[in-house]
Structures are given as C-alpha cells and as structure tokens.
Structure 1
Amino acid sequence: MNLPRAKAWGFGVGVAVLIVASFRELDLQWAAFLSPGALAAMGRFLGEFFPPDFSPAVVRKVVGASGETLAMSALGTLLAALGGMALALPASRPAGTRAAPLRGPIRLLLNGLRAVPELVWAALLLISAGLGPLAGTLALALHTTGVLGRLFAEAIENGPPGPAQALRAQGNGPVAVFFYATLPQVLPQLVSYTLYRWENNIRAAAILGVVGAGGLGQMLAFHMGLFQMGKTATVLVAMLLLVALVDGASYALRRAMDR
C-alpha cells in the first residue's frame, strides 16, 4: 500500500472512531425520542401552527420584516466582501511573490472573526448599537468577513501563476499584476463565494432577530413567546419563501456567470 492510500485509510479510520466516540459521549435517547408519547406530543405541537394567520395586518408586518431581513443580509454580505478582499490581499502569498510578513497575523484575525458565531456577535453589538437591524447587519458583516477573507486569500494563492509571472518579467508592479493578471482569473470564484455566503446570511439574518436584531427573527421570537402559533406559522412561511427567493436569484447569477 502506497503512502497516499495509507494516509487516506488512516484518515477514514480516525473519522470512524471519532463518530463512534461521539455517539457514546452524547448518549442520545433515541428510544424516548421515537416513543409514541413523544411523537404524539410533537404532532399536537405542529398542529397548533395551522392554519397560518394571513390577515392583512399580519401580512403587512411580515412583508416589512422580510424586507428588513433581506436588507440586513445583502448589506452585511456587501460589507463582508469588501472587508474580506481588503484582508485577503495581505493574507495571501501568490506563487512567485516575495515573503508576506502580514500573512500570519491577518489570517489569525480572520480566524478570530469567523470563530465567533453571528448570534454572539449580535449579542455583543446590541450593547453599543442597540436593538434593531444595525447590530444584526454588523454581526453578519464581521463573521462573514472572516469567512470570505480566508476563501479569497486561498483563491488568490491558488490562482494560475503564469500570467502574473509574465507581467512581473516585463517590469510591472504588484498593483498592475493583481488587477490585470490575478484578479481576472479569480474573480468568478470570488463572486461565487460571495453569492454562496449571501445565501447563508439570509438564513442567519432570519435567526439574528431572536436576540433583538430586527427582521423576521424578532417577529418569530415575539409571537412564539406569546404562543401565537398562527402568526408564528406566517413568519415561518415568509422565511421559507425568502430563502427560496435568494437561493433562486443566487443560482441564476452563478449560471449567468458560467456562460
């Protein structure tokens, strides 16, 4: 058995051992979860969501909250794409370039930004930004900056080195090399990463409202807290439609870029 295959087998065995150990550590009560009493209770709970409340007053509030959630995700993703690109440049070292002294510290910063979940960022920012969509937007931007910054840096480092080396051989500086060689090659990948994170952020924005960051999540937490299940169901329907809309738009944009 050659070395790569041995490493693959070792990795697979390690993952299998980790999965088995996870089941033993968690002690999941599958029998209680699937018992007739538990299933009946879950059925009664789900039945309380029907029918959804589609009264004009509720629909107007849900539509407004949906627009707020969509705006939070779009603006948060835009800020993250700009911040991620700004940090990705010093965090990357394309082939043929000199040493990048800021690569390690910037990557450590990116790790810190994405290690903190959006909900935690929102809870921290609520102290200074107060209740409302500003805290949610900034929370999405900070976390997503860490994610996109790392992805952008990897894309820049893994780009084909040939065009950049040709421009350097002609005496062009790093700025010209980046804009005329590196960026045109990796731009479709960067846009694809950004659109994918926008899809994720629309879901995250719908959840951030639970901690008071505005949008559909705030309505969801409010109506569930009052056990107004019909209105809660309307909010859930709006979340599903909004996610489907953003997923479809993102898919269409990616298909248009691939043509």
Structure 2
Amino acid sequence: MDDQRKNVTIAAVADLHVTEDGAKSYKDLFAEISSVADVLVIAGDLTDLGRPKEAELLASDLRHCTVPTVAVLGNHDHESGQVDDVCKILTDVGVKLLNGQAAEIAGVGFVGVKGFVGGFGRHMLGSFGETAIKAMVAESVEESMLLENAMRQVRSDRSLVVLHYAPIAETVAGEPLEIYPFLGSSRLAETIDRFRVNAVVHGHAHRGSYEGRTPGGAPVYNVASHVEKPTGKPYALLEL
C-alpha cells in the first residue's frame, strides 16, 4: 500500500528525564510502543541534566524500540552545555533529532524545533527595554523562524509538528499562572497556522492539560509523561 494513504500510528511522549543513576528504565515502555505504533516521537527533555551518561542510558533503552524514533531536545538537554555529545550518542542509535528540519517517515512529514519562552496571546513578551529582554524575544523569534523554514521543507500531505515548548496556553493550563511565560510562546502557533498541520505535540508543562487547538484549529497535544492521556499510559497515540 502507498505510504501516502496508509494510516500511521504515532506514539508521542516527552519529559523522560533520564538520570545518570539509571533509576528508571524505559526498555519495557519502548518495547510496548513498538508493538502498537509505527513511529515513536519524543518531544524534548530526553535527559535530566543534558549529560552524555544520561544519553547513553537512554540510547541503550532505545535499542528495544524497533520503530523509527523522532525527537527534539528540551531545555534540560541543554543544561550541561554538552548538546553535541548528547546528540551524537542518540543519533548513533538511529534517533532522528530535529532542530529546524523536516523528515518524512511512512508518508508523514515530521517537523521539529525546541521552541522557546515568551508567553501567550496579548501577554506575549515584546522586544522592548533591556538588552536581556530583547535577547529573549530574539531567541523566541529565531525558533519560530526555524520552524517556518522546516515547514517549507514538507512535501507530504500529512505533517506532525514536534516541539518541546508549548505553542498555546490551553495545554499548559494547570501550571501556576506566574510561570506561563516560561512554558512556551504564541509565536510558534502563529507560524504553525500559516501551514496545513495535522497535529502538534509538545512537553515541558508537566502539570498542564492534554489537548487544545491553535487559533487556526490545529490540534495540539501536551505529551509530557506526567500528563494524563486517553491511553492511560505515559505516551499518547495519534492516528495520521
């Protein structure tokens, strides 16, 4: 059957936070996902402190995953300043790490960026005042531009956007209002709504809500492992 017409089941999860002590293994989870999904998506915070040892433990567990794996990095993966090492360890076991790129698997275009902070709607942070504030806004805009460039690479008629930070406030509901500006940015949603997108997944907001929509109507799912999902599992299952 043509990949462009076949339904594709995607298992999506985020915020695994693998630690150096190996306190939690994901071997069984990845084996389970391989039996129910065609693709695994991990939406950031694969590691807890961005250390190579953590990435090595995750890579070992991912050897029990027999379906293609797509991922983006999260803020925790940047903590130790060893992003290049973490990326190499994960790509060496076949993980497709996206940072402003698109990859087609089974007829679905996967588009990924980390995203960044900035707030939502009329409360979104503007580029005004101190240099530090302008630098934050510039970073947020840069991530949105990376996403736009990646979306322009998609040739499939189906696409999934993979983020770490949230593009809408609806899926961070449940978190303290005071930290909303640090959980994501509406700039991401503005970019998404310029394209035809089947679904968006993100993590980061551990106490957020599972489902929402961009202003343009694209379905958005918070797949942080801590968030309750219809599957009753740490991962969501999406049909595209």
TM-score by length of 2: 0.23
Task: Tell which structure's C-alpha radius of gyration is larger.
Answer: 1
Q: Which has a greater percent of helix?
A: 1
TM-score by length of 1: 0.22
Q: Which has a greater percent of strand?
A: 2
